[in-house]
Amino acid sequence: MKIAFRPKLLDCLPTYNRTQFGKDLASGITVGVLALPLAMAFAIASGCSPAAGIWTAIIAGLITSALGGSRVQIGGPTGAFIPIVYGIVAMHGFANLMGATILAGIFLLAMGLARMGQLIRFIPVTVVIGFTNGIAVVIFLAQIKDFFGLKIDNLPAEFFGRIKTLAAYAHTVDLPTLALATACFVFLLSYNRLAQHISVLRRAPGPLVVLLLGTLISFIFSLPVETIGSRFNGIPQELPNIGLPNLSIHDFGKLISPAITIALLGAIESLLSARVADSQIDDRHDPNQELIAQGLANIAAPMFGGFAATGAIARTTTNVKTGGRTPIAGIIHALVLLSIVLVAAPLASYVPLATLSAIVMVVAVNMGEWHHFRELRRYTYNYRVILLATFFVTVVFDLTIAVELGMVLASLFFIYRMSELTRIERLPLGELAEEAHYLYPDGTMRVAAWQLFGSLFFGAVNKLEELLDPAAGHPEVVILDMTRLIQLDTTGLEGLESLRDKLDKRGCKLLLCGLNSQPGSLLFRSGFIDHLGDDNVCADMDEAFQRAYILLPNLMGSFDEDY
């Protein structure tokens, strides 16, 4: 198998010019400034340090843009990873999170090299909507502690334990924290409306404005609220120690399941983001190259103290809207973040955690596709069951289980639907029904013709039993018209073999006609036609009836009473 490795950056460089660089520069600066509060907020919400979030955005963002399969994709930490990362940190610790991220990166890299990028599109939209909305709810619930300033040392990752803990500490609400968080939440939620009336707001991303205003208010009025400095001692104004996390080979066994979850979600979100970007810039991304880049990004980020990353839809869309059209904009965004860390890191100590929790809550509200719940009554029962089951299991249990359950339900409903579309109908014989050669003395037919529709697969093969029903008579020749049979699997083949054997025991011959390419290929390759006989495979019904005429013996006036 030939492995193609060609980042989109190589396609953009030959025609790159100064005008496009100016647009990419402006877009890269804008996205880099936007990514700063989001990276810190997502990291804190995930149970990590804000520095870990920033370095994830820098390293993953740089690799995603330089080696990715999309012109405009922006990589980094995202809100969708919050419940997953938080659970891993709570159960295994941050060092094991970095190990799980590296393992997930290896899985993503292998998926890209194996050219599995297209397979991600097989996940039904109902499953995607279900887990996306479920993740939004989990993110929102996870921020209640910092939003209300609750005095909780360790918030459980498990749903019921989290709800129980929040209820038990509800009386510890800190009013200054709640007031600041509420003000930031309402302001950011209504930011777009305000920007329509206040021109200066149109030029700056909402999360950055809220971050600056929340920090200024907290500093000027000396609000007694928790900050990045009070909880994390600020952000180091230096490069992190570069190297692999300190893990033993035994640690990787328990990290396989979390790594698969990270890889699965990372692949889905990055390719969904790239597809959204394609529609905005009229381009087509390379899904396999994108998975390779995401794999390398998740392998490299933990070496700089980072964690799981993927393509970020919000930042990618911002990149497009501000003029970015090549991976250079994403590279500039990473360099802007690096400059901020090396120059302005001490200022981050004053950022209130209440403001960051408000930013994450708004991200959760905006990421959910809530209108699908309002429109559920318009869709089928199958659609509703898959979406609601995936949503419920994501919120209450685990994303991996939710996706697995959603895929199983979608597959079962699909199999049922396909089996319903598969039909076997008896064909009228027309004028042949009046010819004595085709009739028993009692007037019943010595020939029966049936037509197959759809797909004869494991979910519909039982429909062949209809041909053996005593009520269908006792023909000496059975003709199967397969002109409308488009697909046959090995279980369907086994069903045809069983039908042929049972008919043989009755002294009945089986004829096939009108074979299409796929069913015909399988029947020939399996040796079925050799056992059936080439003469018993006909081009059409007319030829089949001619063959039946030859096969039918003369009754010589005798008639078997059993018939």
pLDDT band at 209 (very low <50, low <70, confident <90, very high): confident
pLDDT band at 481 (very low <50, low <70, confident <90, very high): very high
CB-CB contact of 316 with 273 (8 Å): yes
- Please provide the DSSP assignment of 112-149 as one string: HHTT-GGGGGGS-HHHHHHHHHHHHHHHHHHTHHHHHT
- The tokens for 451 are 């037509």
Is the pLDDT reported for residue 8 higher than 90? yes
Is the pLDDT reported for residue 4 higher than 90? no
Lowest mean pLDDT among 48-62, 177-191, 242-256: 242-256
The whole-angstrom distance between residue 382's C-alpha and the CA centroid of its chain comes to 18
Say what the pLDDT of residue 289 is: 95
Sheet containing 447-456: order of strands: 423-427, 447-456, 477-488, 509-513, 537-538
Say what the pLDDT of residue 436 is: 66
- The tokens for 124 are 């039904």
Mean pLDDT within 160-187: 93
Say what the pLDDT of residue 559 is: 39
Is the pLDDT reported for residue 193 higher than 90? no
Say what the pLDDT of residue 184 is: 93
- The tokens for 278 are 């394609």
Residue 3 is classified by DSSP as P
CB-CB contact of 460 with 491 (8 Å): no
Which is higher by pLDDT, 549 or 98? Answer: 98
Return the amino acid letter for 262.
Answer: I
Say what the pLDDT of residue 474 is: 81
The alpha carbon dihedral of 519, 523, 529, 534 has a sign of positive
pLDDT band at 551 (very low <50, low <70, confident <90, very high): confident
Mean pLDDT within 111-138: 86
Say what the pLDDT of residue 66 is: 95
**For the chain, how far is it from start to end, CA to CA, in angstroms?**
60
pLDDT tens, position by position, 440-463:
776 677 888 999 999 999 999 999
Say what the pLDDT of residue 147 is: 94
The alpha carbon dihedral of 203, 206, 210, 211 has a sign of negative
Distances (CA, A) of 69 to 107, 120, 292, 325: 17, 15, 9, 13
Tell me what the pLDDT averaged over the chain comes to.
Answer: 88
The whole-angstrom distance between residue 496's C-alpha and the CA centroid of its chain comes to 37
Architecture of domain 423-551 in CATH? 2-Layer Sandwich (3.30)
CB-CB contact of 245 with 98 (8 Å): yes
pLDDT band at 562 (very low <50, low <70, confident <90, very high): very low
d(CA 73, CA 78): 13
Which is higher by pLDDT, 433 or 32? Answer: 32
Nearest to 493 by CA among 479, 468, 470, 512: 512
CATH 3.30.750.24 residue ranges of the chain are 423-551
Mean pLDDT within 169-177: 94
pLDDT band at 33 (very low <50, low <70, confident <90, very high): confident
- One-letter-per-residue 3-state SS of 463-486: HHHHHHCHHHCCCCEEEEEEEEEE
Lowest mean pLDDT among 20-34, 79-93, 234-248, 273-287: 234-248
Say what the pLDDT of residue 499 is: 93
CB-CB contact of 333 with 73 (8 Å): no
- The tokens for 22 are 């100016």
Buried b (16+ CB within 10 A) or exposed e, 530-556: eebeeebbbeebeebbebbeeebeeee
> Tokens 């018939």 sit at which residue?
563
- The tokens for 318 are 């911002």
Nearest to 52 by CA among 258, 250, 303: 303
Mean pLDDT within 237-266: 83
Lowest mean pLDDT among 97-101, 132-136, 217-221: 132-136
Mean pLDDT within 280-290: 90
pLDDT tens, position by position, 328-344:
999 999 999 999 888 88
Q: What angle do CA 409, 265, 274 make, to 5 degrees?
A: 110
Contacts of 546 (CB under 8 A, 6+ apart): none
Which is higher by pLDDT, 52 or 314? Answer: 52
Q: Which stretches within 448-540 are classed as H helix? A: 490-505, 517-525, 528-532
- The tokens for 369 are 């596709």
Say what the pLDDT of residue 563 is: 37
- The tokens for 370 are 């809530």
3-state secondary structure of 522: helix
Q: Is the pTM of this model over 0.85?
A: no
CB-CB contact of 367 with 45 (8 Å): no
Return the amino acid letter for 532.
Answer: L
Is the pLDDT reported for residue 201 higher than 80? no
Nearest to 68 by CA among 271, 302, 279: 271
Say what the pLDDT of residue 556 is: 41
Lowest mean pLDDT among 19-28, 232-241, 416-425, 500-509: 232-241
Mean pLDDT within 532-536: 91
Is the pLDDT reported for residue 561 higher than 50? no
Is the pLDDT reported for residue 413 higher than 70? yes
What residues does 478 pair with on adjacent strands? Answer: 448, 510
pLDDT band at 404 (very low <50, low <70, confident <90, very high): confident
Mean pLDDT within 215-237: 89
Contacts of 153 (CB under 8 A, 6+ apart): none
d(CA 228, CA 242): 23
Q: Residue 105, exposed/middle/buried by CB under 10 A (0-12, 13-18, 19+)?
A: buried
d(CA 258, CA 90): 12
Say what the pLDDT of residue 3 is: 60
